[in-house]
Structure 1
Amino acid sequence: MDGRADTNSPKDAPTIEPDDAVDQRLGETVRLLRQRAGFSIQDVATKTGLSTGMISQLERARAMPSIRTLRLLSIALDVPISYFFETSDPADVQRYIVRKNSRRLLRLTASGVVKEALTPADKGQLELYELTLNPGASSGTDFLQHTGEKAGYILSGSLRLWLDNQAHVLEAGDSFRFPSTVPHMFDNPTQQVARAIWVTTLRQTDSPAG
């Protein structure tokens, strides 16, 4: 799914959910978080700028979100984006450490992106991921803005980073950092799989902009 050969033995590899189970779990997570916060679908639509129809479809597993959509939802519902990831075996979970074979995954099949959480599940001010972008993968069709910063390092392949309507093609070994208030998005316009380390800082007072 992520374009890389699996070098782990079957017993060490993380459990992978089928695509329909991923969609169903994401939808249920969004719905439960919304209800826990006491928000209506209209409330969440107002906070995120997403349509009520989109949120309803997500909750019913009839639409697959982009990274941008999940980021907007995470800000509105006051949870880290990693809250939407597939869960790890509870026996492997540690408070401060993430083992390679216990990474939580977020597979956005429609976007062609796989995110692996490199930070523990507890809420914090910094989120660290390994991104795998299949050919044509993208963060979504719209720019995103919020407070905090983003930084990253390209491990392999190419990533096109759009900052305020300007495209920057980054190759293996390139790195970046920018204020998240700058309108941004990214994609992989090549026919090769790209991999990157992605860092996000996000304060609890963040709110979507633009």
Structure 2
Amino acid sequence: MDIGNRLKAVRTKAALSQRELAKRSGVTNGFISQIEKNQVSPSVSSLRKVLEGIPMSLASFFTEETEMGAEVVFRAADMPDLGSHPISYRLVGHSRANRAIGMLKEVLPPGADTGDDMLSHDGEECGIVITGCAEVTVGEQVYLLQPGDGYYFDSRTPHRFRNPGQDECVLISANTPATF
């Protein structure tokens, strides 16, 4: 983690100048400047003292998102696969705290099925088939979706997904609240 840029982002978000933060925390504004420029690496006790001027705990400093510190881009290779063989669920935004949306790239090989037991959970979900085909069962209704087709339903209704085709099925889906 880049402590200097992180401190600057937190200080800016708190609408404090370097001078005001230094005054509140009992250090020199030169010390704040050196930290933000990564010219010095503060000890834990020094960083804690600086953060008291915001006020912010060390835990929050290292875990909360700020406008400058929030990850925006998630590379394909870095998205965790939360699926169980053979279905793959690649989660977008896995490191964002308090995600309101679960956004997934789902890959179902031919014959893959979410299981005989229907899924059910609070919220809503939607998606669109990118390649292949998907059989989506919602309640008693069974739908066959082709590339470009989409779905949207209340997730409390029992549901399941299956790939009845000969080719891999790729879906982009979202659910809220985030269940992954």
- TM-score of the superposition, structure 1-length normalised? 0.48
The structure that has the greater radius of gyration is: 2
CA distance in 2, matches of 1:96, 1:120: 11
CA drift of 1:99 comes to 2.1
Please give the secondary structure, in 2, of the residue aligned with 1:106: coil
CA contact (8 A) 1:130 1:195 kept: yes
CA distance in 2, matches of 1:143, 1:201: 18
Please give the secondary structure, in 2, of the residue aligned with 1:182: coil
Could you list the structure 1 runs, at least 4 aligned residues long, displaced by more than 6 angstroms after superposition.
none
CA drift of 1:203 comes to 6.7
- Matched residue, 1:153: 128
- TM-score of the superposition, structure 2-length normalised? 0.56
- Matched residue, 2:152: 177
Q: CA, structure 1 residues 106+146, in 2 after alignment: closer, same or farther (shift >3 Å)?
A: closer
- Matched residue, 1:196: 171
Equivalent pairs: percent with the same residue?
A: 25
Q: Over aligned residue pairs, what C-alpha RMSD do you find?
A: 2.1
Q: How many residues align?
A: 110
Q: CA offsets per residue over residues 25-70 of structure 1, 9 Å max, x none?
A: xxxxxxxxxxxxxxxxxxxxxxxxxxxxxxxxxxxxxxxxxxxxxx
Q: CA, structure 1 residues 96+158, in 2 after alignment: closer, same or farther (shift >3 Å)?
A: same
Any unmatched runs of 5+ in structure 1? Answer: 1-92, 205-210
CA distance in 2, matches of 1:199, 1:157: 19
CA contact (8 A) 1:159 1:169 kept: yes
Please give the secondary structure, in 2, of the residue aligned with 1:139: coil
CA distance in 2, matches of 1:203, 1:105: 15
CA contact (8 A) 1:161 1:167 kept: yes
CA distance in 2, matches of 1:114, 1:99: 16
The equivalences for 1:44-63 within 5 A come to none
**Equivalent of residue 82 in structure 2, options 85, 92, 106:** 106
Please give the secondary structure, in 2, of the residue aligned with 1:108: coil
**Equivalent of residue 119 in structure 1, options 87, 90, 93:** 93
Any unmatched runs of 5+ in structure 2? Answer: 1-68
Please give the secondary structure, in 1, of the residue aligned with 2:82: strand
Q: CA, structure 1 residues 140+153, in 2 after alignment: closer, same or farther (shift >3 Å)?
A: same
